[in-house]
């Protein structure tokens, strides 16, 4: 046997940390608590828990990238942002697994969810905040938990990834309107002509502005993947519940279709037409 030939493999863990100990697997694997006895509720729980774990890592990387860009440490920020794009691909593929559940199967346990909904995912909101989409009214959802509400409020008031990227343009010598540089970052970003001109110049002279050019393309990668994630979410919901209201009270597919038209980094998309 191969195992028997591996004489140095450790087997005595009475006083040592195991793989399961390190990953807290007992806690993680005991967290799939079905409220019904329907087989497919396990699928529903696991998919959403896995997505939340990926979002935790995405937030870890995005927030670190924001700090790196502020310090002009561009190369490390590119690695972090590229990792976010890879994470997003994993989350997008998760919808394919959830889509194996049929409307009939979901209806067997949907009522057990009450008003609980993915709309309430606080990590998703924090990702939106970090990418510059600020919606103050959603903070009310989290007032039940003062510590969590405080964490979200802090994220809401912090500059987003695009804010620090625009500041990077200004540091490079581009003339950016003061109203953009000093804007209230608690508000969602709006298109600005000076930012558009700056990014256009970056794309016209990529060798001179190579770091900014790479940064811009990393942002486009993230937004592209985010839109794909939103689209797969919308189509999966439509496939399973049609145009019913969401459990959290949203219009469901209607709401998800609306957000498909939102851009985090608008000038990076419009310049493709204007160049």
The annotation places the binding site for substrate at 44-48, 106, 110, 247
Please give the distance of CA 94 from its chain centroid, rounded to a whole number.
14
- Which one, of 201, 268, 242, 220, lies nearest residue 102 by Cα? 242
| Structural element, H or E, at residue 273 | helix 266-274
End-to-end CA distance of the chain: 65
Contact 90, 186 (CB under 8 A): no
The tokens of 135 are what? 């919606």
The tokens of 122 are what? 């606080």
Q: Which residues are annotated as a binding site for heme?
A: 233
- Which one, of 150, 116, 155, lies nearest residue 135 by Cα? 155
Q: Which residues are annotated as a binding site?
A: 44-48, 106, 110, 233, 247
Contact 160, 130 (CB under 8 A): yes
Strands (E), 149-217: none
Using a 10 angstrom Cβ sphere, with 0-12 exposed, 13-18 middle and 19 or more buried, the burial of residue 24 is exposed
The tokens of 195 are what? 């930012």
Contact 186, 156 (CB under 8 A): yes
How would DSSP label each residue in 93-118? HHHHHHTTS-HHHHHTTGGGGTT--G
Q: Which DSSP category does 248 fall into?
A: T
Q: Which DSSP category does 264 fall into?
A: S
């Amino acid at each position: 046997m191969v195992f028997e030939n591996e004489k140095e493999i450790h087997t005595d863990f009475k006083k040592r940390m195991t793989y399961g100990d390190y990953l807290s697997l007992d806690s993680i694997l005991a967290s799939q608590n079905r409220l019904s006895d329907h087989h497919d509720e396990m699928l529903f729980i696991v998919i959403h828990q896995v997505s939340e774990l990926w979002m935790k890592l995405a937030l870890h990387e995005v927030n670190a990238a924001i700090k790196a860009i502020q310090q002009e440490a561009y190369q490390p920020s590119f690695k972090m942002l590229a990792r976010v794009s890879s994470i997003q691909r994993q989350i997008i593929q998760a919808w394919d697994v959830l889509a194996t559940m049929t409307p009939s199967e979901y209806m067997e346990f949907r009522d057990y969810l009450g008003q609980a909904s993915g709309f309430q995912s606080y990590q998703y909101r924090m990702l939106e905040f970090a990418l510059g989409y600020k919606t103050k009214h959603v903070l009310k959802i989290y007032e039940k938990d003062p510590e969590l509400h405080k964490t979200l409020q802090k994220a809401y008031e912090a500059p987003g990834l695009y804010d620090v990227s625009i500041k990077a343009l200004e540091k490079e010598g581009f003339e950016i309107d003061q109203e953009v540089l000093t804007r209230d970052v608690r508000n969602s970003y709006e298109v600005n002509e000076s930012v558009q001109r700056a990014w256009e110049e970056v794309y016209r002279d990529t060798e001179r502005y190579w770091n900014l050019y790479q940064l811009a393309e990393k942002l486009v990668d993230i937004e592209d993947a985010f839109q794909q994630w939103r689209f797969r979410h919308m189509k999966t919901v439509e496939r399973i519940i049609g145009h019913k209201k969401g459990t959290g009270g949203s219009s469901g597919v209607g709401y998800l279709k609306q957000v498909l038209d939102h851009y985090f980094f608008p000038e990076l998309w419009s310049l493709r037409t204007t160049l």
